[in-house]
């Protein structure tokens, strides 16, 4: 069974993450294109039910890697389990979603295997039987084409939402393979103490019809008032990109993006937001996106329906004025 | 506590990039460089730990002459000494090559903690910290928001950011590598006094030879990935760019939102 494509699935509370279904979708596509077999590996304990369900839906063989230390995620237990598995399996490619968990363990796993990791890929092409991956660099202003060098496997993580998820339920007979992986307790130095959900957020932007969001371009807490004023004039919710909540201009619960809320309003007005990938994943499925930014090359314009290249301090006050006129 | 902080120099956030002729790289001439933001947060955390528990903070950067700006700034902010890894052999390396060079510069027992940012804003591989931990054989925690040190057990507890407003608290023994997320504490500015003092601080330049590294183990030759070319991303949407002065643009936009889209 040498040279398979292995998808590393990520699960939480008995469910496979959406990004892993996206990896399954791409894994099956690549399997057909390259004539390689594909399987899914899950690390954990007491996840047989999940493994059977995923195998049945996806039609893939699911390999469950477990040991006594895999009940909760820790990078060392995961890396030990996966390195041992990869060492016996000799995969062609290891695919995974680009999540915070992936960022935590995959570089270490790649180093243990002495292989490369190409992270956060948004596209690929096949060139003379070799996969060339496309990833965003320089704050999303440029794309870079990267290919693995040396012996397989290469590890490749996929940007969340960049590839269509495998959604069809194949109703296949589940094929689950269980493998015990030996991990010496001494190898596990990092211990999980607790998982904390942030305080139940009082700012739920998921139901907002209109969101006005501000970013680094606002410059200070005082100047951010402009965003609050526009939101009020439009009867909109208030969102922010990371630099705003990092700087304490607005509480963290207003943050939109991978570490905050994911929103899909009918109208999203992004003011002074450059459009870091982490922000775009939280808002790019909004109905209509308006971007106002002084930098014409800001990546936010790549996802915008309407764009104004200009100074937010000039444009937004005018918008407030007009919105108030309309409302009165 | 002895802390090494690794900082990378990257082009300024608002840079406009021009590609070289074959698209293999960017033209550096017109670019202004600055310190990678999450690395500055790592330096801020390092300085706070030293202020609370004593010890030293060494700042390290890898790159050509221009990265001295990053290290001078780190010294001015309060780092005690600077280590500049400078060698043509280090250039265009991947995370593994960079980690090898940093590990060689660390040597035996020199530090309790290595702090660096979560990821660079230019290449965004987000790997150097975790790979360095593997090369050193140390434990690691990535995407760290808060650090608590327990002098008695010589261990640290950190709060890590997970996705969607979830966090976890983990414990690890020293020595360890941590990658710091932005937003932990406000980054201090270099004071005039700091800038003056920085001039008297130790600034060491180390080459691959100084570190006993052969060029095949670092840099482009050792990299496990090959960079082909850079491309300007294709737009995902047909964006209607609204021209004109602020007033006209605002009127045109509101008109479209009210009459064409009907969202207002």
pLDDT tens sequence across A37-85: 999 999 998 899 999 999 999 999 999 998 878 888 999 999 999 999 9
Question: Would you state the CATH architecture of domain A5-187?
Answer: 3-Layer(aba) Sandwich (3.40)
- Asked if the Cβ–Cβ distance from A145 to B225 is below 8 Å, we say no
Shortest Cα–Cα distance, A255 to chain B (Å):
9
Asked whether the predicted pLDDT for residue A2 surpasses 60, the reply is no
- Residue A68: predicted pLDDT: 79
The DSSP bridge pattern shows strands A306-309 and A288-293 to be: parallel
Q: What percent of chain A has pLDDT over 90?
A: 82
Query: Which tokens hold the place of A256?
Result: 């939109």
Model confidence at A199, in pLDDT bands (50, 70, 90)? Answer: low
Asked whether the predicted pLDDT for residue A316 surpasses 60, the reply is yes
- Residue A201: predicted pLDDT: 61
**For A300-315, how does the pLDDT look when each residue is reduced to its tens digit (9 = 90+)?**
999 999 999 999 999 9
Biggest CA-to-CA distance, chain B:
69
- DSSP per-residue codes, A281-307: HHHTTSSEEEEEES-TT-GGGGT-SEE
Query: Which tokens hold the place of B76?
Result: 């001015």
Q: What percent of chain B has pLDDT over 70?
A: 100
Query: Which tokens hold the place of A74?
Result: 């820790």
Same fold yes or no, A5-187 and A210-327:
yes
Does pTM surpass 0.95? Answer: no
Cα A252 to Cα A246: distance, rounded to the nearest angstrom: 8
Which of B121, B123, B242 minimises the CB distance to A307? B242
Angle subtended at Cα A280 by Cα B181 and Cα B165, rounded to the nearest 5 degrees: 45
- Residue A203: predicted pLDDT: 78
Closest residue, chain B, to A257 (C-alpha): B164
Cα B3 to Cα B57: distance, rounded to the nearest angstrom: 5
Residue B192 CA, distance from chain mean position: 24
Asked whether the predicted pLDDT for residue A1 surpasses 50, the reply is no
Q: Where do the structural domains in chain B lie, given as residue ranges?
A: 2-222, 237-264
Cα A299 to Cα A297: distance, rounded to the nearest angstrom: 6
Q: Taking the CA of residue A293 as centre, how many other CA atoms within 13 Å lie in the half-sphere pointing to its CB?
A: 26
Q: B168 near B216, Cβ under 8 Å? A: no
Q: Is the peptide bond before A295 cis (omega within 30 degrees of 0)?
A: no
Taking the Cβ of residue A303 and every Cβ of chain B, the question of whether any pair is shorter than 8 Å is answered with: yes
- Residue A275: predicted pLDDT: 94
Model confidence at A204, in pLDDT bands (50, 70, 90)? Answer: confident
- Asked if the Cβ–Cβ distance from A306 to B253 is below 8 Å, we say yes
CATH number of the domain at B2-222, please? 3.40.50.620
Shortest Cα–Cα distance, A118 to chain B (Å):
7
Q: Where do the structural domains in chain A lie, given as residue ranges?
A: 5-187, 210-327
Bridge partner residues of A157 (DSSP): A96
Q: At what angle do helices B128-136 and A100-113 cross, to 10 degrees?
A: 40
Taking the Cβ of residue A94 and every Cβ of chain B, the question of whether any pair is shorter than 8 Å is answered with: no
Give, for all 264 residues of chain B, the pLDDT tens digit. Answer: 999 999 999 999 889 999 999 999 999 998 999 999 999 999 999 999 999 999 999 999 999 999 999 999 999 999 999 999 999 999 999 999 999 999 999 987 689 999 999 999 999 999 999 999 999 999 999 999 999 998 888 899 999 999 878 899 999 999 999 999 999 899 999 999 999 999 999 999 999 999 999 988 898 989 999 999 999 988 778 899 999 999 999 999 999 999 888 887
Biggest CA-to-CA distance, chain A:
71
Give the mutation candidate from A93, A106, A136, A142 for the B interface (greatest B CB count, under 10 A). A142
CATH number of the domain at A210-327, please? 3.40.50.1220
Mean pLDDT of chain B: 94
Q: B81 near B202, Cβ under 8 Å? A: yes
Closest residue, chain B, to A152 (C-alpha): B224
For residue B102, list chain A residues with Cβ-Cβ distance below 8 A. none
């Amino acid at each position: 069974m040498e040279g398979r494509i292995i998808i590393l699935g990520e699960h939480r509370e008995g469910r496979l993450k959406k990004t892993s279904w996206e990896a399954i979708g791409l894994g099956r596509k690549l399997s057909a294109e390259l004539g390689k077999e594909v399987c899914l590996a899950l690390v954990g304990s007491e996840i047989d039910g999940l493994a059977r369900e995923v195998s049945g839906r996806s039609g893939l063989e699911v390999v469950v890697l477990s040991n006594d230390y895999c009940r909760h995620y820790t990078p060392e237990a995961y890396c030990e389990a996966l390195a041992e598995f990869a060492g016996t399996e000799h995969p062609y490619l290891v695919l995974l979603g680009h999540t915070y968990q992936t960022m935590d363990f995959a570089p270490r796993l790649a180093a243990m295997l002495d292989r490369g990791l190409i992270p956060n890929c948004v596209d690929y092409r096949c060139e003379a039987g070799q996969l060339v991956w496309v990833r965003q660099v320089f704050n999303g202003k440029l794309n870079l084409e990267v290919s693995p060098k040396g012996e397989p496997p290469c590890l490749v993580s996929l940007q969340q939402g960049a590839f269509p998820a495998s959604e069809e339920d194949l109703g296949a007979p589940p094929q689950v393979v269980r493998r015990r992986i030996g991990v010496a307790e001494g190898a596990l130095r990092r211990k999980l103490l607790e998982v904390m959900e942030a305080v139940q957020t009082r700012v739920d932007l998921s139901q907002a019809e209109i969101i006005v969001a501000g970013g680094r371009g606002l410059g200070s807490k005082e100047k951010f008032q402009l965003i609050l004023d526009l939101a009020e004039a439009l009867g909109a919710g208030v969102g922010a990109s990371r630099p705003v909540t990092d700087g304490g201009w607005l509480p963290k619960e207003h943050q939109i993006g991978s570490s905050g809320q994911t929103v899909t309003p009918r109208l999203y007005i992004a003011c002074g937001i450059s459009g870091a990938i982490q922000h775009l994943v939280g808002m790019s499925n909004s109905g209509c996106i308006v971007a106002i930014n002084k930098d014409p090359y800001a990546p936010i314009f790549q996802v915008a329906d309407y764009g104004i290249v200009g100074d937010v301090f000039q444009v937004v006050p005018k918008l407030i004025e007009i919105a108030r006129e309309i409302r009165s | 506590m002895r802390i090494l902080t690794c900082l990378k120099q990257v082009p300024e956030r608002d840079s406009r990039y021009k590609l070289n002729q074959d698209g293999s790289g960017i033209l550096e001439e017109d670019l202004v460089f600055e310190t990678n933001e999450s690395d500055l947060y790592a330096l801020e955390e390092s300085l706070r730990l030293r202020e609370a528990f004593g010890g030293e903070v060494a700042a390290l950067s890898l790159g050509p002459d221009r990265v001295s700006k990053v290290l001078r700034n780190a010294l001015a902010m309060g780092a005690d000494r600077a280590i500049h890894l400078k060698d043509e052999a280090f250039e265009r390396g991947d995370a593994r090559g960079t980690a090898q060079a940093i590990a060689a510069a660390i040597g035996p027992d020199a530090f309790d903690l290595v702090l660096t940012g979560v990821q660079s804003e230019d290449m965004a591989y987000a790997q150097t910290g975790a790979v360095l931990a593997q090369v050193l054989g140390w434990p690691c925690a990535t995407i760290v928001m808060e650090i608590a040190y327990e002098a008695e057990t010589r261990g640290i507890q950190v709060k890590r950011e997970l996705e969607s407003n979830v966090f976890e608290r983990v414990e690890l023994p020293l020595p360890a590598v941590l990658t710091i997320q932005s937003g932990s504490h406000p980054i201090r500015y270099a004071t005039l006094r700091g800038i003056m003092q920085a001039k008297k601080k130790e600034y060491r330049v180390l080459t691959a030879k100084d570190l006993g590294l052969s060029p095949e183990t670092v840099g482009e030759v050792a990299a496990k990935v090959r960079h082909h070319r850079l491309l300007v991303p294709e737009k995902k949407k047909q964006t209607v760019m609204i021209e004109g002065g602020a007033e006209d643009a605002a009127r045109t936009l509101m008109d479209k939102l009210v009459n064409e889209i009907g969202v207002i």
